[in-house]
Amino acid sequence: MSRKPFVAGLNRRQSSTPHYQTFPTAPPRTRGHALSSPFDSSNDQDGISNADDEHHNNHNHESPLPRRQLAVLAVIALAEQTALNSISPYLPQMVSSFPETDTSRIGLYVGAIGSSFAAAQLLTNYFWGSLSDRIGRKPVILLGTILTAAAFVGFGFCTKLWHAILVQAIMGIVNGNQGLISTCLGEITDRSNQGRAFVWLPVIYGLGAISGPALGGLLVHGESEGDKASYPFLLPNLIAAVILVVEFTVTLLFLEESLEEAKDLPPLQDRVRAFFSWMWQFASGAVRPTYLRRGPLHHHGHRRVPSHDSAVSGTSSTSPSSSLLHDIFAGPPTSTPMKDILTRTTILLLSTYFVFQLSNASFNALYPVFAFSNPPLGRNIPARDIGFSLSAAGVATIIFQVLIFGHLRDRMGNKATYRAGLGLFAVALLATPMVPFADAKPPFKFLTGNVWMWSHLSLVLLAKTVAAVGGLSSALLLITNSAPEPECLGALNGLAQTLSAAGRAVGPVIAGGLFSAAPKNGRSGGWIPFGVFGGIAVLGFVASWGIRGEELEGEEWDEDGHDEEGGV
């Protein structure tokens, strides 16, 4: 059994914040909503003498899950994934309906639309993560949700290609909630129970992968009806917007703020008002914005207060709103420099996470186009069947995630299951061009060509979706546990989501371009896009073997006595 450093147990303070056990360093008051714990102590002077007992107790006690907050986060994640996944089934049909598009380049156009969303997230994800470190997680989630709902309504009214690209870019700019959900999960759990909490997040994503494509595939008008309707793709987008409004309401009423520093900040409505005031001053190019007019802040303990000189000079020249702006937005909330965040472990994790998301995004962009396109490059599957196939794969994934994956992760560890996810992505990408055509002769006489095609396609989709949700669960745990300091968790998740957005930005447009450029007169054309990204997934799989560190695993992994170097 691998030994933990003694100081790691010593640095876990005996307080009502057991979720800090995720990190091997003494946690400041910068993250986490306090959870009740049987280890609360009013005597902090027993530190060293009780360190061994505390470490032993913490190691054998599993903290109770905050089920109410987990349920709220599940609603948020499900609503977001349902809405975002509803677009893919009808997107090729939508693009082909635009008057200015060339039907032979549908793959490129679909990739451009998907990349515009991810490229916009690339530019803003780190901003949303850092902003949530300043004003709290809840107001940023609320803002992103309602603005995303408005963007969905706009997407339903798109009648030209540039309309769709622009609206998708706006949707990406205003939505950074996926990273915030992971941050909230990391803040309300500890090493003893985070595995049980994080394993359900991919399950929710899998449910969204079922409900989203079904929503988009069923509610979009058929081709004959689409010719008569002015906005044939409006209905699924309106329903997606309604789902997001429900999410907004649930978040507003039931989500508790998980950033502990938010206790020292003004009420939610004042923080939102200050944020819009800050954005207005920033966008209008104020020569000397009010949030920069006051002196530097000093930190007393863990709370930021204005310096004496600035406080005196500001009493007569600064309004309460400008004081609020300064207290929230002036100066970083953490002193952890970027060079300390980017350790060897986090660099490898973030790099392979980029490959993970690149593989996921490229498959998501290629599959609908591959299925929708005519032979020999595609398989000529209608939009409704594409939606059903994605939903069916999601059902199988949920079963795997709930009944099998948790046991596999406990036996294999986070690192091994993450590697397996990257490996399955390579398998799914390289196997897709080998899916037989509907008119192919099956090896068994009792099968039709169509059944033979769908049996192969189902296995490919199963491998991909298991890789996506299983690998994502482990990736989120690895990223959370790799944070060198608790107060940099929001920034680290923001950086991870930025790289995720980078992969999702370049993946679809390159994949679509390669698909459109592939030869249309031979059956080998499909190997070009799928082979390129399958090879990249193989490289990511190989690089993932360099990720090491016992602290990346959950407590159940430590208790089994697996060695850092000996275990996979």
* CATH number, domain with residue 472: 1.20.1250.20
Residue 30 reports pLDDT greater than 80: no
Buried b (16+ CB within 10 A) or exposed e, 62-93: ebebbeebbebbbbbbbbbbbbbbbbbbbbbb
What mean pLDDT is predicted for residues 246-273? 82
Residue 313's pLDDT is what?
A: 40
Residue 56 lies in a domain: no
Residue 293 lies in a domain: yes
What mean pLDDT is predicted for residues 450-460? 90
Using alpha carbons, select from 277, 285, 376 the residue that is nearest to residue 323: 277
Indicate whether 309 and 404 sit together in one domain. Answer: no
Indicate whether 120 and 192 sit together in one domain. Answer: yes
Cα–Cα–Cα angle for 37, 43, 46, rounded to 5 degrees: 100
Residue 27 lies in a domain: no
Residue 537 reports pLDDT greater than 90: yes
Residue 298's pLDDT is what?
A: 39
Which of these three, 329, 348, 370, is where a domain ends? Answer: 329
Which of these three, 275, 308, 329, is where a domain ends? Answer: 329
Residue 5 lies in a domain: no
Indicate whether 384 and 503 sit together in one domain. Answer: yes
Indicate whether 269 and 254 sit together in one domain. Answer: no
Residue 394 lies in a domain: yes
What mean pLDDT is predicted for residues 21-37? 37
Instruction: Provide the token pair at 259.
Output: 């950033």
CA 3 to chain centre: 33
Residue 397 reports pLDDT greater than 80: no
Residue 551 reports pLDDT greater than 60: yes
Higher local confidence (pLDDT), 134 or 418: 418
Q: What percent of the chain is predicted at pLDDT more than 90?
A: 26
Residue 321 reports pLDDT greater than 60: no
Residue 23 reports pLDDT greater than 90: no
Q: Domain containing 380: what range?
A: 67-259+336-559
Residue 42 lies in a domain: no
Residue 244's pLDDT is what?
A: 97
Residue 152 reports pLDDT greater than 90: yes
What mean pLDDT is predicted for residues 290-297? 40
Indicate whether 307 and 249 sit together in one domain. Answer: no
Residue 15 lies in a domain: no
Higher local confidence (pLDDT), 44 or 255: 255
Indicate whether 245 and 317 sit together in one domain. Answer: no
Residue 554's pLDDT is what?
A: 61
Q: How many structural domains are present in the chain? A: 2
Indicate whether 308 and 340 sit together in one domain. Answer: no
Q: Kindly indicate the confidence band of residue 16, based on its pLDDT and cuts at 50, 70 and 90.
A: very low
Indicate whether 538 and 478 sit together in one domain. Answer: yes
What mean pLDDT is predicted for residues 182-187? 86
Collapsed DSSP state (helix, strand, coil) of residue 305: strand
Collapsed DSSP state (helix, strand, coil) of residue 17: coil
Indicate whether 280 and 404 sit together in one domain. Answer: no
Residue 143 lies in a domain: yes
Indicate whether 202 and 184 sit together in one domain. Answer: yes
Residue 534's pLDDT is what?
A: 95
What is the torsional sign of CA 196, 200, 201, 202?
Answer: positive
DSSP code of 141? H
User: Rounded to 5 degrees, what are φ and ψ at 304?
Assistant: -85, 130
pTM surpassing 0.85? Answer: no
Residue 224's pLDDT is what?
A: 45
Report long-range pairs for 169-174 (Cβ below 8 Å, ≥24 apart): 169/116, 169/117, 169/119, 169/120, 170/120, 171/117, 171/120, 172/116, 172/117, 172/118, 172/119, 172/120, 172/121, 172/124, 172/501, 173/120, 173/121, 173/123, 173/124, 174/124, 174/143, 174/144, 174/147, 174/148
Which of these three, 329, 354, 376, is where a domain ends? Answer: 329
Residue 117 and residue 365 in contact, taking contact as beta carbons nearer than 8 Å: no
How many angstroms separate the CA atoms of 176 and 501, rounded? Answer: 10
Indicate whether 305 and 241 sit together in one domain. Answer: no
Collapsed DSSP state (helix, strand, coil) of residue 296: coil
Residue 164 and residue 172 in contact, taking contact as beta carbons nearer than 8 Å: no
CA 253 to chain centre: 23
Indicate whether 387 and 312 sit together in one domain. Answer: no
Q: How many helices (H) and strands (E) does the chain have?
A: 24, 2
Per-residue HEC secondary structure of 230-286 comes to CCCCHHHHHHHHHHHHHHHHHHHHHCCCCCHHHHHCCCHHHHHHHHHHHHHHHHCCC
Residue 327's pLDDT is what?
A: 52
Residue 355's pLDDT is what?
A: 95
Q: Kindly indicate the confidence band of residue 171, based on its pLDDT and cuts at 50, 70 and 90.
A: very high
Beta strands in 150-250 (DSSP E): none
